[in-house]
Structures are given as structure tokens and as C-alpha cells.
Structure 1
């Protein structure tokens, strides 16, 4: 765990914040650093898109059966709500996701987009301190969305219209985790999504649980950020990113699914 200069104990640190990676739970290569936003710019990095929307995966046998079920629920939900297809790795495909309980850096983290070869998605299993990444399928979906090429919602160029970032409450070494991108890197035309599974919670990287790092504007009083399920916006963004909305029948199908199943 990171030695954070705050009043939070290790057991209270969110597992998305523990690895010390980019914005807590993302591993980036240098060529991608300047292109992060809500989604990878596929015109700049087309090779980061999973080919034909097919994502081979392998789940570590080190997980308990109940944890494997949680991961499979996340995969089946993404398969149903989008035209992306996660398929069990056949042992031959060069590029695939290896879902593994990595011990160092431990926590919930993923590379962003298709990295190539055997690509780790780290999902820390439950322990004496709590459920970590596998209390529900929401945490697993969050990291799988990173692997598909989706970044955090509050990094949007227009986020200051919708949320206020309280820099004075952020642990100083993690202030860069709240950077935003310019309009030049915009990849989606969807409205800001407070309910996104990709949004930080109000005290992420805070010096104290009583000091919020993000609060809402626009008279929005609901909780921000959740790790339960895809929001309607998450669902539409993923489908848009992978061309699932490019023809009328598919667009109608996935708009209906997103509106019906998204929170």
C-alpha cells in the first residue's frame, strides 16, 4: 500500500487508489499519456481498439469460486449490454485479458485499451479488511471498461461546469489525478454523467473522509460515482466507442437496452 499522508488507515483506502498508478487504477504507456480523456482517441491509436469488438479473457484459478462468479457476472453484463464480446481465451489468441489477483501493485487496476499480448486486469479478492475489488460485479466492470479504452468521467474537458474540485482537500502528491483534458481530446458527445461507474467518489484521494475532493454543481444533490452497475451513459459510450450504434437496427437495440438496464 502507498504511504499516504492522511488520517486514513490502509483498510480504509479504496482499492482503486492503492496501486499508485495513473489516476489510481490505470497503467499507461508513455505514448498514451497525452491522449487520456473519457476514451482513447481511436484515430490516433486505432491499434488500442479490440479487433472486431472481441476480447479474449482468462480468469486466474487462484480466485475462489464465488469471486470467479462475480467476475463472470461483470463479463456477461457487458456482453449483453453492448455488441462487445468477451470470449474465453482459446490458448492461441495473441492478445487477451488475464484477470489475476496481482499482489504488487495490489488493488483494482488495468491498462487502458488493447495493450497487446497477455494483458493484466488486477482484481484484488476479498480479505479481512473488506471486499476490495469483488464485493459486487461493479468494480470488475469498472476495470474492464478501462481495458476497453474508457477513462474516468471527471477528467472530461467540460467537468468544471458540473463539479468542483477541492484541491485543498486532496493529498498533495495525488493532485494530478484530478487533471482534465482539453477540448481537442474530446471523444464522446454525451452529457456529463454523475452516475457513471467511471466517476470518482466524493472523497477519492482525500486527506480525510470528512473532506470531499469533489462536489457537484448544477443543483445536483445525488451521490456521485458508484461501482454498482453501468449507468445509461456508460452503456451508450461503450456502444458508441465500438460502433454498436452505427446502423439503425443495432442503434435501436442498444439504446433500448441502455435505457432499460442502465442506472
Structure 2
């Protein structure tokens, strides 16, 4: 299996990182008729949710079927051009080649689905919400392969890398450089790290100047401050591995590529793991 997910084709100049694209697209995000946003692009239903991890606080995962796959309905608004729809579709399809996640078109009778629309900016709720769940991919700045993947990972239950519970072992937050009133965007939460290491190359890692008020870094990697981070343009191998661990897509996890795994067998074990073939519960 190849772990390479197609790179962004839409940029003809230097590839901007997902973090840079999100910052540009959401720079002037208005308050009216839009959900509250935290961490730049995570939508929450009310201010009461600002300090809670919306995924670990409740069951946020999408349903897994008896064939071992997770089918998630989606609807793409008709205000996108055919080219724009193809960018979104390519992002959706990139998940099925590396995981048990399969996005499929909405059908009558579906009770919950992703409603992909061009609202103001790029944003998504974290995890399954029920009913029509908005994923905003604005035609003005959000239609890039990595950005589509980033917002879909939010919808699947993932938070930003820099909010990981073990963040302080890998990133030093430069609080003095953060825009006044925006410090909450760097709060740590009890993330589901799935036994994986911190990933500087994650598509969920923001770049080092995120929310900076003085053009100085708001995050510095430690212990080596020269490590490059926040430059991803697509899902990393670690992102893919975490996704498969979270949804227990046994045969797709990094250490099990090419090994047989009966997805139904995993349902019989205590933690839903395939014994022996999927030892990621260590």
C-alpha cells in the first residue's frame, strides 16, 4: 500500500501549508450568522463548549458497519463549480485508499451527513454531531487538497496537534506573542493520542506564527528549535495511522500494512482490536 496522498495541484506557486491557508481564509471571519470558532477553524455550538474537548466529552465517532467500514454520507452544495467539486471529491476519496473511512453521496433517509458548503471561511465541528453537519469550504481560499483533508479530519473527531495533552513536551508556546484575547486557542485538551508520537508534520499542526500579534513565533519546537513544523500540505503518515487507530481500521495501521485482519473479529475483543494483527493497544 502506498501512504502517499496526492499533493495539492491547485497551487502553481510555492505550496502554502494548510495552517497558512486557513489563516488567510479565516482572517476576517464575521460573527453574524456563523458558529463560534475556536483555534481558527473549529466550530462550536455555544460559548459553553469553548473549553471542552467536543470529542472526548461524548461519543463523537461515526458508526462502523458490520463489514468493518465507516460510511459517512455527504452533500456538496450546488454553488460550487465542477472544478471546485472535483477538488472536494478528491479530498473525500483520499480517505478510502488509506483507511476504512468511506465518504458516500447523501441518500434519502440518511439521518446524519456532512453538508459541505461555501460559507465564510474554512471550518468544521469536531466529530459526529447528528443531522446535517456543516463543513465550510469557502470558494475564497479553502479549496485545496490539504485544507479539505484538515476539515474532514475535524469532522472525524480530530483536534489540532498543538492542543495535544503532551504538547508541552514538544512545543513551547510563546504566550507573549499571541494576540490579546486569543490565548484560549492554545489551551491543551485531553486528546485521544492513540499511542502515537507528536507529529510536527501533521496536517493538523498549525504553523509557528499562528495568532501572532507581532510577527514573532507563537510556537517553538523543543528541544530542537530548528525543527521544521506546521508546513504540511496533506495528511502525514502519522495522521493516517491515528485515523485508523481511532476507528480501528486494523489492516490499515502502519505496523500492519499487508497483514490479514478480520474486521469482524475485532468486534469480539474487549477494546475492539484485532488480536495479534493489530497490536496498537500497547
What's the TM-score once normalised by structure 1's chain length? 0.78
Q: Compute the displacement of 1:216 (Å).
A: 1.2
Q: Compute the displacement of 1:32 (Å).
A: 5.7
Residues 55 and 248 (structure 1), Cα distance of their counterparts in 2 relative to 1, 3 Å cut: closer
Q: Compute the displacement of 1:220 (Å).
A: 5.5
Structure-to-structure mapping, 1:3-22, within 5 angstroms? 13-16=23-26, 18-19=28-29, 21-22=37-38
Q: Compute the displacement of 1:158 (Å).
A: 1.2
Q: Which has the higher helix share?
A: 1
1:181 maps onto 2:195 in alignment = no
- Rounded to whole Å, the distance in 2 between the matches of 1:13 and 1:177 is 13
* Matched residue, 2:264: none
1:64 maps onto 2:81 in alignment = yes
Q: Is the 8 A contact 2:244 2:253 kept in 1?
A: no
Matched residue count: 227
Picking from 222, 233, 237, the partner of 1:232 is: 237
Q: Compute the displacement of 1:227 (Å).
A: 4.5
Q: Is the 8 A contact 2:99 2:252 kept in 1?
A: no
* Matched residue, 2:142: 133
- Rounded to whole Å, the distance in 1 between the matches of 2:77 and 2:147 is 17
1:145 maps onto 2:153 in alignment = yes
Gaps of 5+ in 1: 1-10, 127-131, 256-263
- Rounded to whole Å, the distance in 2 between the matches of 1:63 and 1:169 is 38
Classify the secondary structure of the residue corresponding to 2:220. Answer: strand
* Matched residue, 1:200: 206
Q: Compute the displacement of 1:218 (Å).
A: 2.8
Greater Rg by CA:
2
Q: Is the 8 A contact 2:75 2:115 kept in 1?
A: yes
Residues 248 and 88 (structure 1), Cα distance of their counterparts in 2 relative to 1, 3 Å cut: closer
Picking from 96, 102, 106, the partner of 1:89 is: 106
Q: Is the 8 A contact 1:17 1:205 kept in 2?
A: no
- Rounded to whole Å, the distance in 1 between the matches of 2:79 and 2:73 is 19
- Rounded to whole Å, the distance in 2 between the matches of 1:100 and 1:94 is 18
Classify the secondary structure of the residue corresponding to 1:235. Answer: helix
* Matched residue, 1:51: 63
Residues 69 and 12 (structure 1), Cα distance of their counterparts in 2 relative to 1, 3 Å cut: closer
Picking from 32, 44, 61, the partner of 1:28 is: 44
What's the TM-score once normalised by structure 2's chain length? 0.73
Residues 227 and 70 (structure 1), Cα distance of their counterparts in 2 relative to 1, 3 Å cut: farther
Residues 67 and 59 (structure 1), Cα distance of their counterparts in 2 relative to 1, 3 Å cut: same
Residues 236 and 32 (structure 1), Cα distance of their counterparts in 2 relative to 1, 3 Å cut: farther
* Matched residue, 1:158: 166
Q: CA RMSD in A?
A: 2.6
Residues 36 and 17 (structure 1), Cα distance of their counterparts in 2 relative to 1, 3 Å cut: farther
Picking from 113, 126, 147, the partner of 1:112 is: 126
Picking from 95, 103, 111, the partner of 1:78 is: 95
- Rounded to whole Å, the distance in 1 between the matches of 2:123 and 2:201 is 20
